[in-house]
Amino acid sequence: MSVDSYSEEAKALKKLNLEKATNFMRQYRDPDSRELKKLSAHQFMEVWSHYDKDSNGYIEGTELDGFLREFVSSANVQDVSPEAVSDAMLEELKACFMEAYDDNQDGKIDIRELAQLLPMEENFLLLFRFDNPLESSVEFMKIWREYDMDGSGYIEADELKNFLRDLLKEAKINDVSEDKLIEYTDTMLQVFDANKDGRLQLSEMAKLLPVKENFLTRQIFKGATKLTKEDIEKVFALYDRDNNGTIENEELRGFLKDLLELVKKDYDAQDLEEFEDTLLRGVERDRGGKINKKELTMILLALAKKSNEEP
């Protein structure tokens, strides 16, 4: 290598590093057209973890401002610094942007929403677009049981890989190499493993596989109004998916998961089990983890009472 080409290269590298430091998004744009390049799974993860600075699973508040400033100014052919985006412009931009991308309208960008925004490898993108959200937590618990093959109470890397492989298969994608699949698994694990123990617990998997609605967050269960017989019938029907007159197995665990979600942000299989013990001890008499309508009524009344007592 000649000295000249070396110094050219060094200059280019220096420029790239400088751009990275001032605007992280710029490296993912084509230097001429300024269009976003297709991101690999790994690059997507880089973007995500760069902007979700506190790794809480959302790009929000000042993180969101920072991302938007850099996202927009990096599209400029001239080197405008992120600060060149005025506050007024930013507010306007944010309004439009959130309108378009904040699907669940919580004012934050989650990973699924970012995945819709950035161009990515198609097969990897698919993993964020599969037939979701799930109908309910009952379906979630069925999937959980299927993929926690060793019953450890966690989805470990190999189990996650099986899950992702099946997702791709379902989407009729059969040409993903084992290496790619491992890359996808690593990336998904890094993104969703919030407590960094190298495996997914229930609450982490719940982010990867969201359900349409937690039925129990509806107003009636927040003690706002009195629980009517109709309400109870409705809840019962929601969880007794096979209509056999009792809530059991995944139906019961789906119900427990929804309950748990109301009180806890992070939870694992052990929490669910302990919760089941406490909750059923009072109402269920040795019938092997099933609850009938009467028992459900008692549980819901106890909960309504409790939430009425809380300020």
User: Which residues are at the interface with Ca ion (CB under 5 A)?
Assistant: 52, 54, 56, 58, 148, 150, 152, 154, 156, 193, 195, 197, 240, 242, 244, 251
State the minimum distance, in angstroms, from the CB of residue 93 to Ca ion: 19
Closer CB to Ca ion, residue 37 or residue 290? 290
Closest chain position to Ca ion (CB):
152
Phi then psi for residue 247, to 5 deg, are: -105, 115
Neighbours of 265 (CB within 10 A): 10
Phi then psi for residue 13, to 5 deg, are: -65, -40
Residues near 42 by Cβ (< 8 Å), separated by ≥ 6? 183, 187
State the minimum distance, in angstroms, from the CB of residue 266 to Ca ion: 9
* Residue 299: strand, helix, or coil: helix
State the minimum distance, in angstroms, from the CB of residue 241 to Ca ion: 6
Closer CB to Ca ion, residue 134 or residue 238? 238
Please tell me the distance from the alpha carbon of residue 221 to that of residue 100, in angstroms, as a whole number. Answer: 31
Closer CB to Ca ion, residue 63 or residue 121? 63
State the minimum distance, in angstroms, from the CB of residue 128 to Ca ion: 18
Closer CB to Ca ion, residue 64 or residue 168? 64
State the minimum distance, in angstroms, from the CB of residue 172 to Ca ion: 27
93-107 b/e (C-beta count within 10 Å ≥ 16 → b): beeebbeeebeeeee
Closer CB to Ca ion, residue 168 or residue 238? 238
